[in-house]
Amino acid sequence: MTDMTDTTEATGRDAASRLARISLEKIIELQDPSGAYLASPTFSAYKGYAWFRDGAFTADAVSSAGEVASPNRFFDWCARAILDRAAHIEEIIAAAEAGRPLPDAEMLPARFRLDGSTGDDDWWDFQLDGYGTWLWAVVAHTERHGVDAARWGTAIDLTARYLLSSWQRPCFDWWEESTEQVHVSTLGCIAAGLGRVAESGALEVEVGSRARAATNEIRALITTSGLAEGGLAKWLGSSATDASLLALIAPLELIEATSAIGLSTIARVARDLSFEGGVHRYLLDSFYGGGQWPLLSCMLGLAYNAAGDRDSALAFLAWAVGTEGPSGSLPEQVPNHLLAPEVRDSWLEKWGPVANPLVWSHAMFLKLSIELGVFPLGSDA
């Protein structure tokens, strides 16, 4: 007789594996000829745009799935976006070093058109995290596949020096909000990028040692002023948590999952932001009514898995499978449990239905499936 639990588990694994395969295919199919991973092909506010943040996590997942060409093309696109702005970046660095930092509006953008240019409508553009995340992802990719980082050397150097000049500044966070704060997840993305690139030898010696020093300084700042209840806090001095902080545990590996800070961060996000497997961004979120984000459930799964709790990780993966829409598409968020239901309609009127598919959701689903050995099937750890 077949054990029911085994059968249910195997069915769940098959469903997840199938969705991970669809995710990989979708990401590659939707990659623009320019190399950009567009955020969402249909959603009104994202259509025609790409972010370093979404794209770097997407490239990392695709690279982890064994693909080399697609991430290479994305990193080429990032490098072009940086090199096109080289003179401007040097100006930003010189102004910061002279003690006269340029205003936020003159810093690098977060959202790019697919040809690498900056959009001309207003956006919450000054965000630093994506620049750290692309550094982290490009180095991880070169090390994983033995690709020569020299291909992106000049852009890596410019990005590292941009971050070194400006990492202390308040800016918009992952959610493009609260520009007056210094966000712990932003700091973590910067430290993960600078730290990884400093160790890789891709930087010239002097820049490398500055990058190493800044990484240590950021770590010290986070672990003194960036904690609440022993876990990572939403911003320096805040007592709230935020699901973006999970990325610092996994996949960025800046904070050890089993450390006291890692475990407290996971526990707080699980307690405050997870409801029946669906993870909210933060408690006061009202974007589309503040629903649950599959990509964040996958990040919580990654953190649990890194802490050795594979069963919890599998449960979050299973929850994400449940958000699958027509033809295997994964949305940005689902409205099953809303934090601010009263404002959902106003967002629907403003921007139309929620982004679906959201490429980044597919990427985090793929990454967790790979980490759990669910994809490719038969690679069970």
Give me the residues that bind ligand BGC (CB under 6 A), please: 39, 46, 51, 53-54, 174-176, 358, 360
What letters, b where the CB count within 10 A reaches 16 and e where it falls short, cover 177-192? ebbebbbbbbbbbbbb
Q: Is 176 a catalytic residue?
A: yes
Candidates 60, 125, 324, 332; catalytic one: 332
Shortest Å, Cβ 323 to ligand BGC:
16
Q: Which residues contact 323 (CB under 8 A, 6 or more apart)?
A: 278, 294, 330, 331, 334, 361
Alpha-carbon span 324 to 13, nearest angstrom: 15
Least Cα distance to 31 among 70, 66, 68, 78 occurs for 70
Q: Is 349 a catalytic residue?
A: no
Q: Is 3 a catalytic residue?
A: no
Candidates 54, 60, 129, 176; catalytic one: 176
Shortest Å, Cβ 266 to ligand BGC:
21
Q: Which is nearer to ligand BGC, 39 or 372 (CB)?
A: 39
Q: Hey, what are 224's tokens?
A: 């003194």
Q: In whole angstroms, what separates CA 297 from the centre of its chain?
A: 13
DSSP annotation of 343: G
Q: Which is nearer to ligand BGC, 133 or 238 (CB)?
A: 133
Backbone angles phi, psi at 235, to 5 degrees: -145, 170
**Residue bearing tokens 């500044």:** 169
Q: Which is nearer to ligand BGC, 282 or 360 (CB)?
A: 360
Candidates 173, 242, 324, 371; catalytic one: 173
Q: Which is nearer to ligand BGC, 242 or 324 (CB)?
A: 242
User: Read out DSSP for 72-123?
Assistant: HHHHHHHHHHHHTTHHHHHHHHHHHHTT-PPPGGGSPPSEEETTSPBPSS--
Task: Name the residue whose CB lies closest to ligand BGC.
Answer: 39
Q: Which is nearer to ligand BGC, 235 or 263 (CB)?
A: 235
Residues annotated catalytic, as ranges: 173, 176, 332
